[in-house]
Structure 1
Amino acid sequence: MIISRKHRYIFFPIPKTGTHSVRQALRESMGEDDLEQVGLFVQKRFPFPEFADITHGHISAREIRPVLGDEVFDDYLKFTFVRNPFDRFVSYCAFMSRGTPHFETSPTAYMKHIIREMRPVNHLLYLPQYSFVVDAEGRLTTDFIGRNETMQASYDQLCQRLGIASRTLDKVNSSKHRPWQEYYDRDLIGWVSELYQKDLEMFDYRFE
């Protein structure tokens, strides 16, 4: 997460949406009093005791709002980037199998194993995307939502709203795999649809 006092924004980086490149670009325009919480590639922490034991940078709207206060939270521009849940689940499974041949040799079977047997419902990277950016009533708190599928165009649009210079995003921490559609059969489509139903509805995604 980045909280920019200079440009008055809050960036909610949702796991497995490819936003390390956005973080990297945004750092170039951050002010001395801006804050960042991150635990990959760069180690930074918020000066808030509420997050002292959190080693990652994926803090939700419901967690940060009471710390910043309603006035700051409501006044700052809040944004995030989202990704097709079917694509994101492939990326998650590829990540979870690192160091083993499971995903590479039997990807669909491994994906089914995760969703039907492992069921890592509390794993940070497995959580639905909406859970990071809704309030206690389940309403979206963001003012701008970029898309992984059009990352550069979304970032250019975001920078225009923030009044900062845009630039070409670097590729950071991207996984290598075939087009995500190739990993699915009918059963897996149904299970992932059920798991991430709210993401599909809220961010207007589908299997296509």
Structure 2
Amino acid sequence: MNVSPPNMDRLRASEPVFRARWMLRGKRHSPLQDFHYATNSIFVHIPKCGGMSVLRNLYGTQKQHGHTPAAAYRSADPAFYKSAFVFTFVRDPIARFVSAYTFLKQGGVNDQDREFGQRALPWDNMDEAVIELGNHKKWDTLLRWKHFRPQYHFVSGHRAGGKYGVDFIGRQDQMQDGLDYICDRLGHPRLVAKSVNVTKRPADVALSAETQAIVAEKYAADMELWDLAKSGAF
């Protein structure tokens, strides 16, 4: 009997594998820093969701250990993770996709970003890219890259009986409101949100209704997370 080999890109792009890898990494190399313990808080920085602004405004740094998911913080120091205020910011999945696509087409911030953009996104037209990615089933490869990885992968886990491993989910498009709540919760003076590392998008870069529907389907779990953030349930 012939057995088809597993799709390794799909496996590596899956949430359970991503979470397991980061839990192991968190045990070996703790992502927790002094400012986490000093503020009794953990910020889960999801790519392309305005996180650099949070780091600079709240913690006075941009040197957090990259885009570390909640699972890694939990495995690094379970007791601290349990007691700390854990929060994140999320973004409309369609707007985030457009931002990530534009960011990588512009070369990103390093050689790895530029090489990935050239290899995985050879199309000049974003609508064409979405359709071709679907036709050629290359989404799994795309979703492995941090800027396109689903947002829910970074906050998966159970905390206080909930579905996600965070205490608060703020909205990138309402950053000031989120920061106000976080500062009040931490007993920190309120801050004025200042944008950092904003991707400059040409005015004519947008997705058609057809390709928006494709992106929404590919990011169905993120659409659910976004709806939860918009509902104010967190």
TM range (shorter): 0.7 to 0.9
The aligned amino acid for 1:143 is D
Deviation at 1:129, TM superposition (A): 0.5
**TM-score, normalised with respect to structure 1:** 0.74
1:196 aligns with 2:204: no
Q: 2:68 aligns with which of 46, 59, 70?
A: 59
Deviation at 1:88, TM superposition (A): 0.2
SS at match of 1:167: coil
| 1:96-135 alignment runs, 5 A limit | 96-99=104-107, 106-114=125-133, 116-117=135-136, 118-119=138-139, 120-135=142-157
Deviation at 1:108, TM superposition (A): 2.3
Deviations 1:3-39, CA, capped at 9 Å, x for gaps? 51122111101001011011001224xxxxxxx8xxx
The CA RMSD over aligned residues, in Å, is 3.0
Q: 2:171 aligns with which of 147, 150, 155?
A: 147
Deviation at 1:127, TM superposition (A): 0.8
Aligned to 2:201: 177
Deviation at 1:113, TM superposition (A): 3.9
Inter-CA distance 83–103: structure 2 relative to 1 (3 Å threshold): farther
Tell me if structure 2 keeps the 8 A contact 1:62–1:136: no
Q: Which runs of 5+ in 2 are unaligned?
A: 1-30, 108-116, 229-234
Identity of paired residues, percent?
Answer: 29
Partner Cα separation in structure 2 for residue 44 and residue 162 of structure 1: 19
Tell me if structure 1 keeps the 8 A contact 2:49–2:172: yes
Inter-CA distance 44–200: structure 2 relative to 1 (3 Å threshold): closer
**TM-score, normalised with respect to structure 2:** 0.67
Deviation at 1:153, TM superposition (A): 1.6
Deviation at 1:43, TM superposition (A): 4.8
Q: 1:7 aligns with which of 36, 39, 43?
A: 39
Q: Which runs of 5+ in 1 are unaligned?
A: 29-35, 37-41, 46-56
| 1:61-100 alignment runs, 5 A limit | 61-69=70-78, 71-99=79-107
Tell me if structure 1 keeps the 8 A contact 2:130–2:215: no
Deviation at 1:121, TM superposition (A): 2.1
Structure number with the higher helix fraction is 2
Deviations 1:75-102, CA, capped at 9 Å, x for gaps? 11100000000100000110121159x8
- Number of matched pairs: 180
